[in-house]
Amino acid sequence: MKNLPLKLALFVIGLGLLSLIGWYYTIPILTHISSKYLPIALLSSVLFIFSGSFYSIYFLPTKNKFLISIANSLASISLVITVIAGIDFIFIPQGNFETIFYNWFSSFKSVENNELISPISIALFFGSSLSFLLYQLKPIKQQQLFFIKMFFYIEFIISCGFLLVYIENISSFYLNDVYSLAFPTSIGLFILSILHLFMLKFQIWPLNIVDQNSIQSKLVRSFLPIILFFIIIGNAIESHLIAENSENFTNSLLLFILIVLIVVSYQIISKNLEKELNETKSLYKSLFDNSSIGLYQTTPKGKIISANPALIKMLEFDSLEDLMQRDLSQGSYVNQKKEKNLKLYLQHKTKLQILNRNGIPKKAIL
């Protein structure tokens, strides 16, 4: 998908905006889906808007110094908010800072539920903002990179953990009043960790040991999200919606859906790979045909497979078909002895002389 990080960053902004709208107009599905789920905190909504904004600017195809300064400013504001909220939580149990913010929001319209931000959210937003700011300092020192990667692991593992808790419907875990994450918050922080990963250009263990341009890597990156999505949705449906007596039918239905998704995805991926292969072939053909240097391909026995127009002109043949009739193993090189050791010469950059149509020697490189 083209510019996926930018779209994910915009999704985070949308998540924050929808949560604010949900609070303002009292729409539970925009804040916590159902009454048994924790609602997203107001301060989390604001931090999602800030975080999504500075990441979206970072992943813009083109950006100037002004936009970069705005992104760094938003990250700095987010960092300051999390530091103040963290100090407030540790040293001021009443939570004066967030209460002031909540009262300011309520001044526009009275909101019934006063949901304060979780200290886990504060820590993860702090890590995300600090990592972003550290990554902008050039050159990046080894210590900076260590902390940035460490924050990614923490953010990814914790957000994934809470998503799995919600998927498996372990209410005793996610209904913790203080040390918990709301479902929308878990989703948003998980996406922020993915943006964190994109910012690092996937140069993090174990992803950095995989060749990102190999066909196998592309297939894994294409199919793995589908399989994970299937597992997540299947477990969520089974944990929340499906009765026990219909489990066998549900598993069969989900298996059928997975097979369909894999087949469809395979067709899409195959077409994309075929398109990339054709583009590579077109580029090679263009370079081969338009080169001013004479180029040709032969079999190990000396039969010419192809040659570019420059070589045909250089050797003074009328056409490629005319040149292909020549057998290079039969008196076509000035030094025919070297031709017999062709395989050895192909391992090194070797200069030879080849005879043109009129028997005049021309320089060639194998």
* DSSP symbols for 196-240: HHHHTTT-STTGGGS-TTSHHHHHHHHHHHHHHHHHHHHHHHHHH
pLDDT tens column, 306-349: 888 888 888 778 788 877 777 665 656 565 555 556 555 555 55
Region 139-159: mean pLDDT is 88
> ∠ at Cα 254 (227, 260), nearest 5°?
65
Note the pLDDT of residue 17: 93
Asked if 83 and 90 count as a contact pair (C-beta separation under 8 A), the reply is: no
Region 220-248: mean pLDDT is 60
Note the pLDDT of residue 246: 46
Asked if 16 and 151 count as a contact pair (C-beta separation under 8 A), the reply is: no
Note the pLDDT of residue 66: 92
Is residue 247 scored above 60 in pLDDT? no
Give the range among 38-42, 284-288, 341-345 with minimum mean pLDDT. Answer: 341-345
Note the pLDDT of residue 76: 95
pLDDT tens column, 3-34: 888 999 999 999 999 988 888 787 777 777 66
Helix H segments across the chain?
Answer: 4-24, 28-31, 42-58, 65-91, 96-106, 119-136, 142-167, 171-174, 183-199, 215-240, 247-290, 309-314, 320-324, 336-339, 342-346
Note the pLDDT of residue 167: 75
Which of 55, 45, 53 has its CA nearest to residue 105? 45
Note the pLDDT of residue 139: 82
Note the pLDDT of residue 245: 46
* Type of residue found at 330: Q
pLDDT tens column, 41-53: 888 899 999 999 9
Better-scored residue on pLDDT, 317 or 104: 317
Note the pLDDT of residue 239: 61
pLDDT tens column, 63-92: 888 999 999 999 999 999 999 888 888 777
Contacts of 262 (CB under 8 A, 6+ apart): 223, 226
Residue 125 — very low, low, confident or very high, per pLDDT cuts 50/70/90?
Answer: very high
Instruction: In whole angstroms, give the CA distance from residue 148 to residue 12.
Output: 20
Region 202-230: mean pLDDT is 63
Region 233-253: mean pLDDT is 56
Give the range among 41-55, 149-163, 185-199, 316-330 with minimum mean pLDDT. Answer: 316-330
Region 237-262: mean pLDDT is 58
pLDDT tens column, 199-208: 988 777 766 6
Better-scored residue on pLDDT, 153 or 273: 153
